[in-house]
A and B are shown apart, each in its own frame.
Chain A
Amino acid sequence: MRWGVATPSRNKKLSARRRISGGLLKGIVFLCAGVTVALLVGLLGFILYHGLGNINWAFLTTARSALKNTIGIFPNILFTLYIIITALLISLPIGVGASIYLNEYASHKRLARMIEFTAETLTGIPSIIFGLVGYLFFCRMLGLGASILSGALTLVVMVLPIIVRTTQEALKTVPDSYREGAVALGATKWYMIRTIILPSSLDGIVGGCILAIGRIVGESAALIFTAGVGYQLVTNYFQALGTSGGTLSVALYVYVYEQGEFEAGYGIAAILVMIVLLVNFATKLVKKKFKRI
């Protein structure tokens, strides 16, 4: 027998060593977890600490004024909203439609897989490339210039894969037995999709929208090229579509990097962080709400 004989003293030594190495490993993973949490809390704390003091009513509700030398981000808030609304208005129907086609109609499985692959690849492409293409195509070729519309269209290309993927995941989780049940009652395919499939995958679609909103709010690289950095207040939505306007993230970049206005930068950063937190909570809430059915 080559195996060591388990004498009592040997056993004791072994177990002592195991205890120490086990304890050490536990300590290390605990530390790793601690670092992760500390990073998040530290970052949030840092931004909120520096930012919250710079947020006040005037900051939120006015535009930048060179005369009074004040900074206000109201136009940027509006531009962000406009871009979100425009991008979702366009990408939601296309994305949901594409997913329905892929999941419910596509009999050509190769084509469906190719589209899925395309969507996945698109999600991984750096946003600056979307910005470049958006600039060349929407701003220059189509002559839309640096405008909210160009920015929104660029973001449509960017968030479309997100919406397609989340919607498709949701559609896939709808059991076939629902489809059969509806069809066996005499429902046409479209009626079945409208009354059974879409309602039961609503959580996935809403989840996709929220993810897309998060992506849009956080986007800067793709927008600097395409939507520009404008900060003039435009309250009319349709007029805004044609004007250059920086979203909050873009404004943050412009204020801090080009003008050294750190207070304004921190203020915007704090607002963005709060929006992201809000979006995350909203996602959780939506998931919970739909789970109950």
Chain B
Amino acid sequence: MSIIVSAKDLNLYYGAFQALIDVCLDIPEKEITALIGPSGCGKSTFLKTLNRMNDLIPGVKITGELTYHGENIYNGGLDVTVLRKNIGMVFQKPNPFPMSIYDNIAYGPRLHGKLKKAALDDLVERSLKGAVLWDEVKDRLKKSAMGLSGGQQQRLCIARALSVEPDVLLMDEPTSALDPASTAKIEDLMSELKKNYTVVIVTHNMQQAARISDRTAFFLVGVLVEVGQTNDVFSIPRDKRTEDYISGRFG
């Protein structure tokens, strides 16, 4: 089991407010790591430090060490666009661009370099197949992505993230805006994805974390309380707070 992303004593401040406190967390390759915890516990914040999406928010300060393949993510010389190509992200609400299905998927590859039409077609097909959406949309690739259902839109966003061939996929509550049937499809898809990708998922839904993840990390007010194999965390939590949370006593 090799570690692909590693945080050591990571602290994050939004202005005067400290959102992450001394977080140490290793994320192993080709596994699903679930981040759970009540609202405002820092799990989404942690997720967004991994691809530096927090850079968009003014007033954010980060200390400590966060590495991807051993390289410091917050190293000044690092090319953020390359980092984000390697660490893809899927958001809470499906956010397809207002363009055709094809152009949505082709957006990333076009951004990172010129491809021949045939190669691009191939990549679009592979990405859509990777997100198990190809059969549903192959006859209407030129139609607007806004016409897809919510669940299809979210799989489109996953396909879009896959199109730039990342090796880590961050998912920020990817099913919280979806109905149960679409949620089930995305969960199935995630089990497929972990064969080729490392997945880090933030979820409010503990059953979801228990169902799909290999490892679970529990956050509380900016502190990483407990991390371990999902089975262990859910059946024999070491910390009283974890036990209280997963047994539904708060949150």
Q: Which residues of A does B touch, CB under 8 Å? A: 107, 175, 177-188, 191, 195-196, 199-200, 293
Q: Is the Cβ of A185 less than 8 Å from the Cβ of B161?
A: yes
Instruction: Show 10 A/B contacts (Cβ-Cβ < 8 Å), sorted by A.
Output: A175-B95, A177-B93, A177-B95, A181-B95, A184-B84, A185-B88, A186-B82, A186-B84, A187-B81, A293-B99
Q: Is the Cβ of A186 less than 8 Å from the Cβ of B93?
A: no
Q: Is the Cβ of B111 less than 8 Å from the Cβ of A186?
A: yes
Bound Cα distance from A183 to B89, whole angstroms: 10
Q: Name A's interface SS.
A: helix
Give the residues in chain A near B51, CB-CB below 8 Å: 184
Query: A183 with B56: in contact, given A177-B91, A293-B146 (CB under 8 Å)?
Result: yes
Sample of 16 further A-B pairs with CB below 8 A, known A180-B91, A183-B53, A186-B82: A175-B95, A178-B97, A178-B98, A180-B53, A181-B91, A181-B157, A183-B84, A184-B84, A184-B161, A185-B84, A185-B88, A185-B108, A186-B80, A186-B111, A195-B111, A199-B99
B43 at the A interface (CB under 8 A):
no
Q: Is the Cβ of B107 less than 8 Å from the Cβ of A182?
A: yes
Give the residues in chain B near A199, CB-CB below 8 Å: 98-99
B85 at the A interface (CB under 8 A):
yes
Rounded to whole Å, the gap between the CB of B144 and the closest CB of chain A is 6
Residue on B with the closest CB to A195?
A: B107
Interface residues on chain B, number (Cβ under 8 Å):
29
Q: Is the Cβ of B56 less than 8 Å from the Cβ of A180?
A: yes
B27 at the A interface (CB under 8 A):
no
Q: Is the Cβ of B89 less than 8 Å from the Cβ of A107?
A: no
Which one, A179, A185, A191, A196, contacts B160 given CB within 8 A? A185
Give the residues in chain A near B73, CB-CB below 8 Å: none
A-B pairs under 8 A by CB, number: 64
Give the residues in chain A near B217, CB-CB below 8 Å: none
Give the residues in chain A near B161, CB-CB below 8 Å: 184-185
B112 at the A interface (CB under 8 A):
yes
Query: A187 with B111: in contact, given A177-B91, A177-B93, A293-B98 (CB under 8 Å)?
Result: yes
Q: Could you say which of A107, A177, A191 has the most chain B C-beta atoms within 10 Å of its C-beta? A: A177
Q: Could you say which of B107, B144, B164 has the most chain A C-beta atoms within 10 Å of its C-beta? A: B107
Give the residues in chain B near A195, CB-CB below 8 Å: 107, 111
Q: Is the Cβ of B53 less than 8 Å from the Cβ of A186?
A: no
Bound Cα distance from A187 to B53, whole angstroms: 12
Interface positions, chain B 153-167, Cβ under 8 Å from A, are: 157, 160-161, 164
Query: A107 with B108: in contact, given A183-B84, A184-B53 (CB under 8 Å)?
Result: no
Give the residues in chain A near B88, CB-CB below 8 Å: 184-185
Give the residues in chain A near B89, CB-CB below 8 Å: 184
Give the residues in chain B near A184, CB-CB below 8 Å: 51, 53, 84, 88-89, 91, 161
Residue on A with the closest CB to B79?
A: A186
Interface positions, chain B 164-184, Cβ under 8 Å from A, are: 164
Residue on B with the closest CB to A196?
A: B97
Bound Cα distance from A182 to B99, whole angstroms: 13
B15 at the A interface (CB under 8 A):
no
Closest 10 CB pairs of A and B: A177-B95, A184-B89, A186-B81, A186-B84, A186-B85, A185-B108, A181-B95, A200-B98, A187-B111, A293-B98
Bound Cα distance from A268 to B108, whole angstroms: 53
Residue on A with the closest CB to B58?
A: A107
Bound Cα distance from A188 to B107, whole angstroms: 13
Residue on A with the closest CB to B108?
A: A185
Give the residues in chain B near A178, CB-CB below 8 Å: 95, 97-98
Q: Is the Cβ of A186 less than 8 Å from the Cβ of B144?
A: no
Bound Cα distance from A184 to B97, whole angstroms: 13
